[in-house]
Amino acid sequence: MTSVKPQPEHIACQMGKSPEGGIFRFPVRVGGVMVKDVNPAVEKVLALQEQEARKLSLESQLRLIPQEVAKAQSRIDEEKAAIEADRQRLKQNEVHRLDVDKEMKSLEAQVVKYKTQQMEVKKNDEYQALTHEIERTEGQIGELEEKEIVLLMEQDELAESNQTTETEHQETIRLFEKEIARMGEQEAGVKAQIDSAIAAVEAAQAEVPADWLKAYQRVHQRRPKPQWVVPMEDQHCGGCHLKVSGEVEGQVLTDEKPTHCDSCGRLLYKP
């Protein structure tokens, strides 16, 4: 069998150089998309952008957790307030009933007093006047007795209703307390992921050539949110989608140095 001698261009490609002696552009996968012939510097700055975006996403999640905890705590406070309001209504009903009972006993004592006075008076008109007062006071006592019966019935209904609703409120409180505990665990997990993401960003920064890193950081300072590095397609910026100048297009196509969109300032690369 005759062996096939490798051609010079095959050897050059395996070594990371083009047959013409320039930098060989490796096809890479960025964000799940295969990008062909990317400048190695662009590949590294895209990897940095991906790590920074991940870190920002985690930080955004972390900021939302205390807000969600506050919402859950607010619901717990509402449920507890509802329980206390029900208890207060029951208590007020009992206080009202006791006031009625106290007033009724006071009137009953007044009737006894009137009857004692009847036994002591000599004149008929005085006796009749006391009789009238006794009848009037006993009428008041009768009204209070009916009122007390109504309050006792309300007391029983409120007590039974409170028992049911308080059980429901306590169950809701338990669920929200469980959710707060879960979010506490989630917060700890996200913090750990952020620490890992920070380390990944620092490692990715160390891989980016100095001129590209400086250009990237300039865009990052102007724009707090990704994307900072975008493709140029059909002479349009992949970020702001505006047409770039011919000069910018030429620089991007040459692919030798960092080039910014002349409208939004994002770093451009040829896909």
Q: Which of 259, 216, 264, 223 is nearest to 240 (CA)?
A: 264
User: Among residues 73, 35, 32, 33, which one has the least CA distance to residue 255?
Assistant: 35
Instruction: Specify the pLDDT at position 254.
Output: 86
- Regarding beta strands 267-269 and 229-233, do their DSSP bridges make them parallel or antiparallel, or are they unpaired? parallel
Ranking 23-32, 82-91, 135-144 by mean pLDDT, the lowest is 23-32
Structural contact between residues 259 and 229, judged by C-beta atoms closer than 8 angstroms: no
* Residue count of the chain: 271
Other CB atoms within 10 Å distance of the CB of residue 32: 5
Asked if residue 7 has a cis previous peptide bond (ω within 30° of 0), the answer is no
Residue 15: band (very low, low, confident or very high) from pLDDT cuts 50, 70, 90: very low
> Given this model, what pLDDT does residue 39 score?
83
- Residue 175 predicted with pLDDT over 80: yes
Q: How many CA atoms within 13 Å lie on the side-chain side of 18?
A: 9
Domains of the chain: 59-206 (1.10.287.1490)
pLDDT the model gives residue 18: 40
- Can you tell me the mean pLDDT for 237-260? 93
Name which residue leads in pLDDT, 211 or 39.
211
The pTM of the full predicted model, rounded to 2 decimals, is: 0.65
Q: In whole angstroms, give the CA distance from residue 192 to residue 197.
A: 9
